[in-house]
């Protein structure tokens, strides 16, 4: 006779309500873990999108994501000719705010050369950019659709392709346009400002400036060796893909990452305390029954089994509810929530361990109760 | 009324004492209590609060250590010079003693049958056998028609009869009852006492109750009076003579 099951069945509504409460709490913990992972993944997504080995940026900067970097656009030709480099492309990054369907829309604009590295990693609908001007590929999270038109700067762009999961570390969805369009967007002044510049005699400076040149290497080429070659040009710095990812995770999103990490730890601690309290309270409510069981001769293992099984059932059902909830609503979060199976598994193991330890408190209380407590009123 | 005390006693206490605390805080709950209860007898411990009734019941029920004295249960010496001779008291209780409580203490999440079957399963019976025996006991105590009811749905008298069935499940020959009729009205109290007598006679068991319930005094074969931890008087209902 399984006493834990019988007790749960007898108080099913209350038990399930407790499980739902715990599930919501564990769902929040899972969501925080997902947000934490999403932050890191978002930070790395744009850097990984071009699938390159080397980033060439302005000397003494850690650009183009962590710091501003500006280098001449024609550097790409020089980089492409270095031994070991198979392809190179110029690239620009900027954030713009525009309007779409009456709502403000923040976009991370990536300018690239369509025949060279730097474009979107995949196109899930439509096609790539085929014309030199006013076409764009948009991340689907922008809400833009194929054929949609949107103002960027002084020009109207048409969405010809859609990609996905392309956001910057701030969560702004990315769009891809041609490098000349991006440079124009970045450097062309509005007419009044341009007139002022002309009046001051500044004229129109060359706008062939990019934020970085990305390079793919031949399979046997050493990225360190190519970087060393680039370093000989004193006005450039070369950063390997691995170093770029480190900059992003250790520098750009480090504070946010640690903030969410700490909050997640606190939330996990609170959850552990609440689980312990629930299980302890569940046991304390049954002390008279436990005393009766002891008095009629129930061995300790029967009583321990009942408490531990209920604690584990509570943890398992609560965790299942929380995980199901978050898996089903994670796509509705404004920022990306990434739930890796290993994260879910680790949290599951933590909940399992917390339930076991918490049931230990209940077991301790149960084993200390005197059978004589069952006698009398 | 009482079965003749021709057999060996089922419960025999010899100079059992129990004190709590030491020095100035010492309280003597029981002092040199000796008594014997025989098969078929229904006896009561009577006395004011603090007289030692519950302490005595707890020692006989193997849930409290005496300070000195010896005790035999069902022919087995279990306490010698204030020390238990068996280490597994739970098993001892399971084998030899059935308990009936003031408020029935049925497990609220088990139905009447399972409350009785639980004790049998704890003693090693398989589920089918345990349930069959439980149903048999419930029928014997005339509460078989409520076998599937949860304790909360049973009346006070029905719950107490289920509790008696549970106490009888392992066929113990010693039944300890703590105020078994305190929560019942006169009619139901009478029915419960009749059942206990039936059990005592038919199963040759010893029923020992702690009670304050005057309306059932005449249902006991013997009443032991306790005061300040001493066994002062007992009344033998057959002889109707208070014995000092």
A377/B105 touch (CB, cutoff 8 Å), yes or no: no
The confidence band for B4, taking pLDDT boundaries of 50, 70 and 90, is very low
Is the domain of A34 the same as that of A64?
no
CA distance A240 to A244: 6
**Six-digit token pair at A262?**
């700490």
- Written as tens digits, the pLDDT of chain A (377 aa) is 888 999 999 989 999 999 999 999 999 999 988 988 888 888 888 889 889 999 999 998 987 888 888 898 888 999 999 999 999 999 999 999 988 888 899 999 999 999 899 999 999 999 999 988 999 999 998 999 999 999 888 889 999 999 998 988 888 999 999 999 999 888 776 777 767 777 777 666 667 889 999 999 999 889 889 988 998 888 899 999 999 998 888 877 788 888 888 998 898 888 888 888 888 888 888 888 898 888 888 888 999 999 999 999 999 999 999 999 999 998 888 888 888 888 889 989 998 998 888 888 889 988 888 887 877 64
Is the domain of A38 the same as that of A157?
no
Q: How far is B239 from chain A (nearest CA, A)?
A: 31
Residue A150 lies in a domain: yes
DSSP characters for A143-173? Answer: ---TT-EEEETTEEEEEEEEE-S-B-TT-PB
Please give the pLDDT value at position B5: 46
The confidence band for B219, taking pLDDT boundaries of 50, 70 and 90, is confident
Residue A242 lies in a domain: no
Q: How far is B174 from chain A (nearest CA, A)?
A: 13
Is the domain of A39 the same as that of A70?
no
CA distance B118 to B162: 12
Is the domain of A299 the same as that of A209?
no
Is the domain of A208 the same as that of A273?
no
Residue B2 lies in a domain: no
Is the domain of A225 the same as that of A294?
no
CA distance A349 to A339: 15
B109/A295 touch (CB, cutoff 8 Å), yes or no: no
Is the domain of A265 the same as that of A161?
no
Residue B1 lies in a domain: no
Please give the pLDDT value at position B54: 85
Please give the pLDDT value at position A326: 93
Please give the pLDDT value at position A358: 85
Residue A220 lies in a domain: yes
Is the domain of A33 the same as that of A66?
no
A10/B54 touch (CB, cutoff 8 Å), yes or no: no
Q: Coil, strand, or helix at residue B225?
A: strand
What number of helices (H) and strands (E) belong to chain A? 11, 12
Q: How many CB atoms lie within 10 A of CB A129?
A: 23
Residue B4 lies in a domain: no
The confidence band for B1, taking pLDDT boundaries of 50, 70 and 90, is very low
Residue A244 lies in a domain: no
B122/A296 touch (CB, cutoff 8 Å), yes or no: yes
Chain B CB contacts of A1 below 8 Å? 110, 114, 117-118, 121, 127
Pairing of strands B42-46, B206-210: parallel
Q: How many CB pairs under 8 A join A and B?
A: 72
Contacts by A286-289 with C-beta closer than 8 Å and gap 24+? A286/A7, A286/A366, A287/A365, A287/A366, A287/A369, A287/A373, A288/A373, A288/A374, A288/B105, A289/B105, A289/B107, A289/B108
Q: How far is A287 from chain B (nearest CA, A)?
A: 11
Residue A50 lies in a domain: no
Domain count, chain A: 2
Domain count, chain B: 1
Is the domain of A96 the same as that of A213?
yes
B64/A375 touch (CB, cutoff 8 Å), yes or no: no
Q: At a CB cut-off of 8 Å and minimum separation 6, what does A268 contact? A: A29, A350
Is the domain of A35 the same as that of A148?
no
Please give the pLDDT value at position A108: 94
CATH number at residue B127: 3.40.50.300
pLDDT tens-digit profile of B72-109? 998 888 898 888 888 788 888 888 888 887 777 899 99
Residue A310: give the domain boundaries. 3-43+255-374
Residue A53 lies in a domain: no
Is the domain of A86 the same as that of A205?
yes
Q: Is the predicted pLDDT of residue B238 greater than 90, yes or no?
A: no
Is the domain of A37 the same as that of A107?
no
Q: What is the ipTM of this complex?
A: 0.76
Residue A356 lies in a domain: yes
Residue B188 lies in a domain: yes
Share of chain B above pLDDT 90, in %: 23
A375/B122 touch (CB, cutoff 8 Å), yes or no: no
The DSSP code for A142 is G
């Amino acid at each position: 006779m399984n006493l834990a099951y019988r007790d749960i069945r007898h108080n099913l509504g209350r038990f399930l309500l407790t499980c739902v409460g715990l599930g919501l709490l564990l769902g929040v913990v899972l969501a925080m873990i997902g947000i934490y992972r999403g932050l890191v993944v978002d930070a790395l997504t744009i850097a990984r999108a071009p699938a390159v080995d080397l980033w060439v940026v302005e000397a003494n900067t850690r650009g183009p994501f962590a710091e501003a970097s500006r280098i001449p656009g024609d550097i790409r030709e020089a980089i492409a000719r270095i031994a070991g480099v198979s392809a190179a492309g110029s690239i620009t990054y900027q954030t713009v705010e525009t309007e779409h369907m009456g709502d403000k829309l923040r976009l991370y604009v990536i300018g690239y050369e369509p025949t060279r590295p730097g474009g979107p990693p995949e196109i899930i609908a439509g096609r790539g950019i085929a014309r030199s001007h006013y076409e764009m590929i948009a991340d689907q999270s922008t809400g833009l659709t194929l054929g949609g038109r949107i103002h960027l700067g002084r020009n109207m762009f048409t969405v010809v392709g859609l990609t996905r999961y392309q956001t910057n570390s701030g969560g702004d969805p990315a769009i891809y346009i041609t490098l000349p369009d991006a440079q124009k967007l970045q450097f062309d002044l509005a007419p009044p400002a341009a007139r002022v510049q002309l009046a001051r005699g500044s004229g129109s400076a060359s706008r062939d400036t990019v934020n970085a040149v990305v390079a793919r290497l031949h399979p046997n080429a050493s990225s360190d060796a190519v970087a060393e070659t680039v370093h000989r040009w004193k006005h450039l710095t070369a950063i390997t893909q691995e170093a770029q990812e480190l900059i992003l995770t250790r520098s750009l999103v480090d504070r946010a990452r640690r903030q969410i990490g700490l909050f997640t730890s606190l939330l996990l601690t609170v959850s552990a305390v609440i689980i312990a309290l629930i299980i302890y309270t569940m046991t304390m409510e049954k002390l008279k029954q436990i005393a009766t069981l002891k008095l009629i001769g129930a061995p300790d293992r029967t009583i321990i089994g009942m408490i531990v099984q209920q604690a584990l059932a509570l943890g398992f059902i609560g965790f299942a509810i929380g995980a199901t909830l978050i898996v089903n609503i994670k796509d509705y979060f404004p920022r990306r929530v990434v739930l890796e199976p290993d994260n879910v598994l680790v949290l599951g193991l933590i909940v399992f361990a917390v339930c076991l330890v918490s049931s230990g408190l209940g077991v301790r209380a149960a084993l200390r109760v005197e059978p004589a407590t069952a006698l009398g009123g | 009324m009482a079965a003749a005390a021709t057999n060996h006693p089922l419960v025999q206490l010899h100079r059992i004492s129990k004190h709590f605390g030491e020095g100035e805080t010492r309280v003597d709950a029981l002092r040199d209590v000796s008594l014997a209860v025989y098969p078929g007898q229904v006896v009561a411990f009577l006395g004011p609060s603090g007289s030692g009734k519950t302490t005595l019941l707890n020692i006989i029920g193997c849930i409290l250590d005496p300070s000195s004295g010896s005790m035999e249960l069902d022919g087995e010496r279990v306490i010698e010079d204030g020390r238990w001779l068996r280490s597994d008291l739970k098993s001892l209780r399971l084998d030899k003693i059935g308990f009936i409580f003031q408020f029935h203490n049925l497990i609220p999440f088990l139905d009447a049958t399972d409350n009785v079957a639980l004790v049998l399963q704890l003693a090693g019976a398989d589920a089918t056998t345990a349930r069959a025996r439980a149903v048999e006991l419930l029928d014997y105590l005339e509460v078989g028609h409520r076998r599937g009811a949860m304790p909360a749905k049973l009346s006070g008298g029905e719950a107490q009869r289920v509790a008696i069935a549970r106490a009888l499940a392992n066929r113990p020959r010693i039944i300890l009852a703590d105020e078994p009729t305190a929560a019942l009205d006169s009619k139901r109290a009478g029915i419960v006492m009749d059942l206990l007598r039936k059990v005592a006679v038919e199963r040759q068991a010893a029923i020992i109750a702690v009670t304050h319930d005057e309306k059932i005094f005449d249902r006991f074969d013997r009443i032991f009076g306790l005061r300040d931890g001493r066994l002062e008087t007992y009344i033998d209902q057959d002889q109707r003579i208070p014995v000092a």
